[in-house]
Structure 1
Amino acid sequence: MALGFAADGAVASDPAKIVGPNACTECHKQEAEAWKGTHHFKTFREMPRNTKANDIAKRMGVRRIKSESLCLNCHFTVQQKDNKPEPVSGISCESCHGSGQDWIKLHGGFSGKTEKTETKAEEEARWKMADSKGMIRPHSLYQLAKNCYGCHVVPQEDLVNKGGHKAGSAFDLVSWSQGEVRHNTWYSKGKDNVPASAARKRMLYLVGLGVELETGLRAVAKATVRGAYAFEMAKRVDRARKQLAAAAKAAPNVPEIAKMVEFAHSAGLKLNNEPFLTAAADGVSKLLASISETYDGSTLTGLDGLIPEPDKFVGTARKPGTIN
């Protein structure tokens, strides 16, 4: 059984292939310490005790938050145990990077050699194979963003209209990825937790806006009644296309941005318009895939004035240090 909302944009995780965060922390100790200071980690213990969460669960007919897939999809890492899905942690490594069973040994195996003796060609082949097995690495920005927005834009109408859940977070990929969830320590061997480069932030900003638009379009397409969900998702789409229009003006050397805006206006934000809204979302998706493959951010300097500054980052990034 795969949990998640792949049809709506997120990359579904398969509990049968989840290895759990402990399998990752054996090597990624500094990254794990950064994770332990995040809301992603704390949700495992805190959410079941949260009054608002339990009120929402009650309205949805959920008796136990940790045993109902409605909540498990976005708030926990779920592993198959004794033929039953069991939450083993909060939002963790595999929530972002994909279920690890098929790639975890491969990605860190140095082609059967050591880091120093593995050739460049062998390394490239190893990463290509890991990608093919479902690993989502940082360079796969579009896929990573889809995972983020797949939950931060709530993917279920009843959960909002009936349960009273927020329709989504005030989320943007730069502010949230550069705050408490930042764990950019691998290449410094744990000596530093550096922020994304200017070029990387430009890509985060642009791809994030595009995925916000795509996810919102798909959500409006699935809405069935005039209610909070439909209205909030339409508002998200309208806001995203306005921001993208500003980005298109700021970076005219990237024609794909203007084309995304065109797709965004090609379908009315209304009920019973799923074929046209889905077609618009699919068009945005193809453009985002192209942008991710074609650009590295170095030529997108026009976007710099639009990107959130550090005072907008959500939470504080952990400084690497001694691990107890």
Structure 2
Amino acid sequence: MIFGCATVGAIASESESAKTVGPNACAECHKQEVEAWKGSHHFKTFRDMPRDTKANEIADKMGVRRIKYDSLCASCHFTLQQKNNREEPIAGISCESCHSAGQDWIKVHSGFSGKTILFESKAEAKERWKLADSKGMIRPRSVYQLAKNCYGCHVVPQEELVNKGGHKAGSAFELVSWSQGEVRHNTWHSKGRENVAASAARARMLYLVGLGVELETALRGIGKATARKAYAFEMAKRADKARKQLAEVAKAAPGVPEIAEIVKFGHAAGLKLNNERRLTAAADGVSQQLILITEKYDGTALAALDSMIPGPDKYKGVARKPPN
């Protein structure tokens, strides 16, 4: 029962929650984007999840008394902010869940180098974005980092939550179909006139990187598993399915040898218990190749993947249409 994604180990951690500025700070400029968010399950989980029957059944099994305040639930389902020396849930899965806690970068990214958008030069803008990146901002161009955030919760990171609590081991998550549905909020560059779908090239990168992060995350999950129970079985199934899909992708795109390397790493360690060292090394290898792919390619060389990528009929929910 996964409602959305959150920054892995970030918004959930005390140091990062101290840097959370909250969605209202983003809404000052990103009005259309925030309106899109308000129509998504990411937004609604703040109100709906504590009332959900299944969520409360899981909480009872895990000894959780307050879903919004227990880190076991809050780390993925809510945005936390430090208030009065304690972490307070302030929203569901929100802007900073995906783009990272904003205190260090929010003024940089919106400052136009101390000018206005009309007078900032391209060189100044480039330096501004470079500085925002260095301060932790995760922008849409950072496909790998965004995917890691999503899969970090959509593939459940806690074994006991599954084996004891009865939580699903993860969503039937795929990066294109989930990012292009109700959560899509690509309205900034059109000044709010359109909610633009991913280009063909970007969709290819989302699909490929998403599969790779699925494999990486599942490998790490198996490595951390301690019991021959549901969690380990589900992680192994996810890893095996991702390996097979990536093998097809590698066959279709031989001009991108890094994909074949990912497949090799996916088979470098047995999908079994008590194998954490080798599974972690394999996951690290997958990660390194994915980073190389995002640095070297922009999707234009991956047209052979188009028939594999889910179309609009598979999107998770409907993307918001901005008002005329």
TM-score, normalised to structure 2, is: 0.96
Aligned match of 1:305: 307
Count of residue pairs brought into register by the alignment? 316
Whole-angstrom CA distance in 1 between matches of 2:46 and 2:107: 26
- 4+ runs deviating over 4 angstroms: none
1:12 matched to which residue of 2? 10
Partner of 1:37: 39
1:266 to 257, 268, 274: 268
Taking a change above 3 Å as real, the CA distance of residues 229 and 220 of structure 1, as seen in their structure-2 partners, is same
Query: Which residue number corresponds to residue 100 of structure 1?
Result: 102
Query: Shift of the alpha carbon at 1:12?
Result: 2.0
Match of 2:62 in 1: 60
1:28 positional shift:
0.2
Give the Cα separation in 1 of the matches to 2:80 and 2:311.
35
1:185–1:192: 8 Å Cα contact kept in structure 2? yes
The equivalent of 1:224 in structure 2 is: 226
The structure 1 residue matched to 2:120, chosen from 104, 118, 121, is 118
1:10 CA displacement: 2.9
CA distance in 2, matches of 1:321, 1:105: 28
Supply the RMSD in Å over aligned alpha carbons: 1.2
1: CA distance between counterparts of 2:203 and 2:120?
A: 31
Task: Using the TM superposition, give the Cα deviation of residue 11 of structure 1 relative to its aligned residue in structure 2, in angstroms.
Answer: 5.3
Q: How does 1:234-273 map to 2 (within 5 A)?
A: 234-273=236-275
Counterpart of 1:31, as a letter, is: E
Task: Output the CA distance in 2 between the equivalents of 1:127 and 1:184.
Answer: 18
1:185-210 deviations in whole A, cap 9, x for unaligned?
A: 00000000111000000000000000
Paired residues of 1:11 and 1:146 also in contact (CA < 8 A): no
Find out whether 1:195 has 2:193 as its counterpart: no
Aligned 8 A contact 1:98 1:134 in 2 = yes
* Cα distance between partner residues in 1 of 2:257 and 2:306: 17
- Which stretches in structure 1 are left out of the alignment for 5+ residues? none
Alpha-carbon displacement from aligned partner over 1:135-172 (angstroms, at most 9, x marks no partner): 00000110000000000000000000000000000000
Given candidates 74, 77, 100, the residue that maps to 1:75 is 77
Aligned-partner SS, 2:301: coil
After TM superposition, the score normalised by the length of structure 1 is 0.96
| 2:285 counterpart residue number | 283
CA gap 1:122/1:11 in 2 versus in 1, 3 angstroms? farther
Q: Distance in 2 between matches of 1:10 and 1:78?
A: 13
